[in-house]
A and B are shown apart, each in its own frame.
Chain A
Amino acid sequence: MTDFKINHREGDGVSVIELKGYLDAHTAPQLENAFQTLLNSEKYNILVNCRDLSYISSAGLGVFMAYIEDVRKNHGDIKLTNLSARVYNVFDLLGFPLLYEIFKEEREAIGRFKVRPRS
């Protein structure tokens, strides 16, 4: 059984990361690698679709915190979409809605990135 899976696709000047399963201290390094790979390729418009994310702990949230500064320094952003109520609740308990834009659907989020490189 796979605990956690990441799917990555590109489109419309935005890198979309889809998360599936359980994001905890065991699986957080996979998300770190995914963010690091995007930053290495100078991709700073990152949309994280959490539709199939069943669980998140602070170890997972820590990954978002670790990369947001670098991403914004480069005029990009990490935006989140499709959070389940349970996952949103953990984000909310730690005050993440103050710092991250969270949308219901991908299409709402895509239009909100500031710099849109030509695809």
Chain B
Amino acid sequence: MKLAFSKTIESRTENLRAVRELIGGAAKDFGFSEEDSSKIALAVDEACTNIIRHAYHNRSDKNIEITVYAEKETFEVRIIDSGDSFDPEALKPVNLKEHLTAFRRGGLGVHLMKTLMDDVKYRSVSGRKNEVRLTKHLPQ
């Protein structure tokens, strides 16, 4: 896929708003509606929040690399961190009512990302890094 742009941010929650604006703007420029652009921005917020909280355990001096690839109908955001790896398969499928009724916190971000995007994939990349790829296609 063609590289559109890349940006590295520090793992601080105050950067989330700027990330949403960056990704939402890029999605809109690519041709997504306002609503779909907001969904993509929210999914990227969720991915970065999970990295800050769970991969870096709220340390604010680590890096998160965000790269956007765009080609034909496909918009893909790849997010790389070098923190603790995350195994989404270890998460049980979310039964929402049970989950909410049990008042458990966390885990909702991954569910939200999968709902908002067409595809969400986690993998390990070289140098003990983790990557999540968030993909959405333009509507036909």
**Interface residues of A, count at CB 8 A:** 23
* CB < 8 Å neighbour of A94 from B52, B101, B108: B108
User: Which candidate, B13-21, B61-69, B82-90, B118-126, is the interface stretch facing chain A?
Assistant: B13-21
What is the interface of chain A mostly: helix, strand, loop, or mixed? helix
Task: Count A-B pairs with CB separation below 8 Å.
Answer: 68
Does residue A59 face the partner (Cβ distance < 8 Å to B)?
A: yes
B residues neighboring A (CB under 8 Å): 13-14, 16-17, 20, 35, 38, 42, 45-46, 49, 52-53, 96-97, 99-101, 103-106, 108-109, 111-112, 115-116
**Cα distance, A64 to B137, chains bound together (Å):** 32
What is the interface of chain B mostly: helix, strand, loop, or mixed? helix
* A-chain residues with CB within 8 Å of residue B97 when the two chains form the complex: 95, 98-99
A residues neighboring B (CB under 8 Å): 3, 22, 24-26, 55, 57-59, 61-62, 65-66, 68-69, 86, 90, 93-96, 98-99
**Cα distance, A100 to B63, chains bound together (Å):** 37
* B-chain residues with CB within 8 Å of residue A22 when the two chains form the complex: 17
**Cα distance, A89 to B116, chains bound together (Å):** 11
Which residue of chain A has the shortest Cβ distance to B43 in the bound complex?
A: A57
> Do B105 and A62 have beta carbons less than 8 Å apart?
yes
> Do B49 and A66 have beta carbons less than 8 Å apart?
no
> Do A26 and B96 have beta carbons less than 8 Å apart?
no
**Cα distance, A26 to B52, chains bound together (Å):** 11
14 contacts between A and B (CB under 8 A): A3-B17, A22-B17, A25-B13, A57-B45, A57-B109, A58-B109, A59-B49, A65-B103, A68-B103, A69-B103, A86-B35, A94-B100, A95-B97, A95-B99
